[in-house]
Amino acid sequence: MYTVKEVSKLLDLTEHTVRFYTDKGLVPSVQRDKNNNRLFDQESINWLIGVRFLKQCGMSVEDIKSYVDLCLEGNSTIQERYEIILKQKVIAQAQLEEVTRTVKYMEEKANHYLKIIKGVIPDDTNPGNWESKYANNQLKKAQADFL
Protein backbone atom coordinates (compact mmCIF):
# COMPACT_ATOMS: atom_id res chain seq x y z
CA MET A 1 0.00 0.00 0.00
CA TYR A 2 1.38 3.35 -1.08
CA THR A 3 0.64 6.96 -0.16
CA VAL A 4 0.32 9.80 -2.62
CA LYS A 5 3.86 10.84 -1.89
CA GLU A 6 5.28 7.41 -2.57
CA VAL A 7 3.30 6.98 -5.73
CA SER A 8 4.38 10.39 -6.97
CA LYS A 9 8.00 9.42 -6.52
CA LEU A 10 7.48 6.03 -8.02
CA LEU A 11 5.86 7.28 -11.20
CA ASP A 12 7.62 10.62 -11.41
CA LEU A 13 4.46 12.67 -11.09
CA THR A 14 3.89 15.51 -8.64
CA GLU A 15 1.60 14.91 -5.70
CA HIS A 16 -0.67 17.50 -7.20
CA THR A 17 -0.93 15.51 -10.38
CA VAL A 18 -1.55 12.24 -8.58
CA ARG A 19 -4.42 13.79 -6.64
CA PHE A 20 -5.65 15.48 -9.79
CA TYR A 21 -5.81 12.19 -11.66
CA THR A 22 -7.48 10.27 -8.87
CA ASP A 23 -10.00 13.05 -8.35
CA LYS A 24 -10.80 12.94 -12.05
CA GLY A 25 -11.58 9.26 -11.74
CA LEU A 26 -8.67 8.00 -13.80
CA VAL A 27 -7.74 5.49 -11.11
CA PRO A 28 -10.98 3.78 -10.12
CA SER A 29 -9.32 1.27 -7.85
CA VAL A 30 -7.83 3.82 -5.49
CA GLN A 31 -9.03 3.42 -1.91
CA ARG A 32 -9.16 5.57 1.19
CA ASP A 33 -8.07 4.62 4.66
CA LYS A 34 -10.09 5.51 7.74
CA ASN A 35 -8.49 8.94 7.74
CA ASN A 36 -9.55 9.54 4.20
CA ASN A 37 -6.02 9.26 2.87
CA ARG A 38 -5.64 7.92 -0.62
CA LEU A 39 -4.23 4.44 -0.59
CA PHE A 40 -2.75 2.89 -3.72
CA ASP A 41 -2.42 -0.84 -3.95
CA GLN A 42 -0.49 -2.51 -6.71
CA GLU A 43 -3.48 -2.41 -8.99
CA SER A 44 -3.98 1.32 -8.57
CA ILE A 45 -0.38 1.89 -9.43
CA ASN A 46 -0.78 -0.28 -12.47
CA TRP A 47 -3.76 1.78 -13.53
CA LEU A 48 -1.76 4.92 -13.11
CA ILE A 49 0.99 3.51 -15.26
CA GLY A 50 -1.60 2.79 -17.92
CA VAL A 51 -2.92 6.32 -17.62
CA ARG A 52 0.59 7.63 -18.09
CA PHE A 53 0.95 5.67 -21.29
CA LEU A 54 -2.31 7.04 -22.61
CA LYS A 55 -1.31 10.57 -21.65
CA GLN A 56 2.05 10.04 -23.25
CA CYS A 57 0.54 9.56 -26.65
CA GLY A 58 -1.50 12.71 -26.43
CA MET A 59 -4.82 11.63 -24.93
CA SER A 60 -6.49 14.32 -22.88
CA VAL A 61 -7.51 13.68 -19.29
CA GLU A 62 -11.10 13.85 -20.45
CA ASP A 63 -10.59 11.19 -23.09
CA ILE A 64 -8.73 8.95 -20.71
CA LYS A 65 -11.63 9.31 -18.32
CA SER A 66 -14.02 8.16 -21.04
CA TYR A 67 -11.79 5.22 -21.76
CA VAL A 68 -11.59 4.27 -18.09
CA ASP A 69 -15.37 4.46 -17.89
CA LEU A 70 -15.60 2.13 -20.87
CA CYS A 71 -13.37 -0.31 -19.03
CA LEU A 72 -15.65 -0.19 -16.03
CA GLU A 73 -18.72 -0.72 -18.16
CA GLY A 74 -17.54 -4.18 -19.05
CA ASN A 75 -17.18 -6.55 -21.93
CA SER A 76 -19.71 -4.81 -24.18
CA THR A 77 -17.25 -2.00 -24.79
CA ILE A 78 -14.27 -4.02 -25.88
CA GLN A 79 -14.65 -3.27 -29.57
CA GLU A 80 -14.82 0.41 -28.82
CA ARG A 81 -11.79 0.26 -26.58
CA TYR A 82 -9.92 -1.69 -29.19
CA GLU A 83 -10.46 1.07 -31.69
CA ILE A 84 -9.31 3.70 -29.24
CA ILE A 85 -6.12 1.79 -28.57
CA LEU A 86 -5.53 1.29 -32.27
CA LYS A 87 -5.81 4.99 -32.82
CA GLN A 88 -3.42 5.74 -29.99
CA LYS A 89 -1.05 3.15 -31.33
CA VAL A 90 -0.85 4.98 -34.63
CA ILE A 91 -0.24 8.23 -32.80
CA ALA A 92 2.45 6.67 -30.66
CA GLN A 93 4.17 5.26 -33.71
CA ALA A 94 4.15 8.66 -35.36
CA GLN A 95 5.63 10.10 -32.18
CA LEU A 96 8.31 7.49 -32.26
CA GLU A 97 9.37 8.60 -35.71
CA GLU A 98 9.36 12.24 -34.71
CA VAL A 99 11.35 11.63 -31.57
CA THR A 100 13.80 9.50 -33.48
CA ARG A 101 14.33 12.37 -35.89
CA THR A 102 14.72 14.73 -32.96
CA VAL A 103 17.39 12.59 -31.35
CA LYS A 104 19.20 12.46 -34.62
CA TYR A 105 19.02 16.21 -35.00
CA MET A 106 20.41 16.74 -31.51
CA GLU A 107 23.21 14.27 -32.10
CA GLU A 108 24.28 15.79 -35.38
CA LYS A 109 23.96 19.28 -34.00
CA ALA A 110 26.04 18.42 -30.95
CA ASN A 111 28.67 16.88 -33.20
CA HIS A 112 28.69 19.95 -35.33
CA TYR A 113 29.27 22.22 -32.35
CA LEU A 114 31.93 19.92 -31.05
CA LYS A 115 33.81 20.15 -34.30
CA ILE A 116 33.72 23.92 -34.12
CA ILE A 117 34.86 23.93 -30.51
CA LYS A 118 37.73 21.63 -31.36
CA GLY A 119 38.66 23.84 -34.24
CA VAL A 120 38.18 21.15 -36.83
CA ILE A 121 35.93 23.42 -38.81
CA PRO A 122 35.41 27.17 -38.61
CA ASP A 123 32.33 28.56 -36.95
CA ASP A 124 29.36 29.55 -39.04
CA THR A 125 26.99 31.24 -36.73
CA ASN A 126 25.51 33.73 -39.10
CA PRO A 127 22.33 33.02 -41.01
CA GLY A 128 22.96 30.53 -43.72
CA ASN A 129 24.78 28.38 -41.22
CA TRP A 130 24.52 24.75 -40.31
CA GLU A 131 20.91 25.11 -39.27
CA SER A 132 20.17 25.87 -42.85
CA LYS A 133 22.42 23.27 -44.34
CA TYR A 134 21.17 20.58 -42.03
CA ALA A 135 17.57 21.52 -42.47
CA ASN A 136 18.02 21.77 -46.20
CA ASN A 137 19.10 18.19 -46.25
CA GLN A 138 16.34 17.20 -43.91
CA LEU A 139 13.82 19.16 -45.84
CA LYS A 140 13.58 16.75 -48.68
CA LYS A 141 12.58 14.00 -46.31
CA ALA A 142 10.55 16.37 -44.19
CA GLN A 143 8.67 17.76 -47.12
CA ALA A 144 7.94 14.30 -48.34
CA ASP A 145 6.23 13.75 -45.01
CA PHE A 146 4.41 17.01 -44.82
CA LEU A 147 3.31 17.65 -48.36
Partner DNA sequence: CTACTACCTTCGTGTTACACGAAGTCAATA
Partner DNA sequence: TATTGACTTCGTGTAACACGAAGGTAGTAG
> Which residues are near DNA by CB under 7 A?
3-6, 14-17, 19-21, 23, 34-38, 55, 60-62
Residue in 17, 57, 61, 63 binding a second copy, rule: CB under 8 A: 57
Residues 87-146 that bind a second copy (CB under 8 A): 88-89, 92-93, 95-96, 98-103, 105-107, 109-110, 113-114, 116-117, 123, 125-129, 131-132, 134-136, 138-139, 142-143, 146
Sign of torsion over alpha carbons 57, 62, 68, 69: negative
How far, rounded to the nearest angstrom, does the alpha carbon of residue 53 sit from its chain's CA centroid? 7
Determine, following the binding rule CB under 8 A, whether residue 39 of this chain makes contact with a second copy.
no
| DSSP E strand boundaries for 20-130 | 31-32, 38-39
Q: Which is nearer to a second copy, 23 or 28 (CB)?
A: 28
Query: Identity (one letter) of the amino acid at 37?
Result: N
125 binding partner (options DNA, a second copy, none; Cβ < 5 to 8 Å by kind)? a second copy
Residue 2 C-beta-side C-alpha neighbours within 13 Å: 20
Coil, helix or strand at residue 36: coil
Residue in 29, 39, 61, 63 binding a second copy, rule: CB under 8 A: 29
> What residue spans of 118-129 are helical by DSSP H?
none
